[in-house]
Amino acid sequence: MASVVNGSPAPLNYRVVADHDDFLLIDKSPGANLHRNQRGRSLLDQLADDFPAHRLLLVHRLDDVTSGLLLLAKHSAAAAELAEQFRSRAVQKFYLAIADGKPRKKQGLIVGDLEKSRGGSYKLSRRTDNPSRTRFISASVVAGQRLYLLRPETGKTHQLRVVLSSLGVPILGDRRYGGADSDRAYLHAWALCFRYGGQDFRFQCAPTYGIRFQSPAVNEALRHWHEPWQLPWPGAAAQNTL
């Protein structure tokens, strides 16, 4: 069974970005499900067929609706080293999102616990017992619509989707959190920086799915943000949006 994007079947597509001896980095298509759940076949099944010489292991995850950079280890030792980097927050992750409307703030640091809500959704809380942390900046791309560059410092379930919804600007196409209907959910894992085997790696992968990601204004913003790890990120003082 194929994965689904906004009610339509989506193939389990991906593109290889880097094929290292110890890891595989792919550009995942939006809607491709990592696990079978009730869909019969997953992206991991497809990758197992395409790379039979390796037992590919996830070291982090992307929501089904999210496209972009997904890192998999080719053996258990690499998986342990890379997974530890994600757990210790040594990996830098940068995402792109598009949303309609005017946000409560155009840049900043959002800190707060993510609490379970109804139907598998989450909500941002004022509590900070085990908080999510997200830095973000944004730029206007068309009237009434902004592009967001997000830098999550934690890896909570649905974190970025909840953060933008809490700002009053749910991601375009993200039906779960109130986003307007569109050809896809506009969330993309754009850049990934990590250290492995004593070497620093930096990867970027521009979004290829979604008409809104292809606009000249978005391309101009990406040129301006072309090395996101070098940007002066906001948020010296932690703030909750609620």
Burial track 44-63 (b if 16+ CB lie within 10 A, e otherwise): bbebeeeeeebebbbbbebb
Residue 51 has what pLDDT?
A: 96
174 flagged as catalytic: no
Question: What is the spatial distance between Cα 129 and Cα 48, in angstroms, rounded to a whole number?
Answer: 39
Domains, the chain, in order of start with CATH, read 3-228 (3.30.2350.10)
Question: What is the spatial distance between Cα 99 and Cα 174, in angstroms, rounded to a whole number?
Answer: 9
Residue 228 has what pLDDT?
A: 97
What secondary structure letter does DSSP report for 239?
Answer: B
Residue 8 has what pLDDT?
A: 44
CA dihedral 192, 195, 196, 198 (to 10 degrees): 150
SS (H, E, C) 148-171: EEEEECCCCCCHHHHHHHHCCCCE
Q: How many helices (H) and strands (E) does the chain have?
A: 4, 14
Residue ranges, the chain, pLDDT below 70: 1-11, 38, 235-242
Catalytic residue among 63, 64, 174, 181: 63
**Which token pair is 214?**
């292809």
Closest CA to 109 of 179, 167, 170, 172: 167
Residue 3 has what pLDDT?
A: 37
- Helix (H, G, I), strand (E, B), or coil: what is residue 223? helix
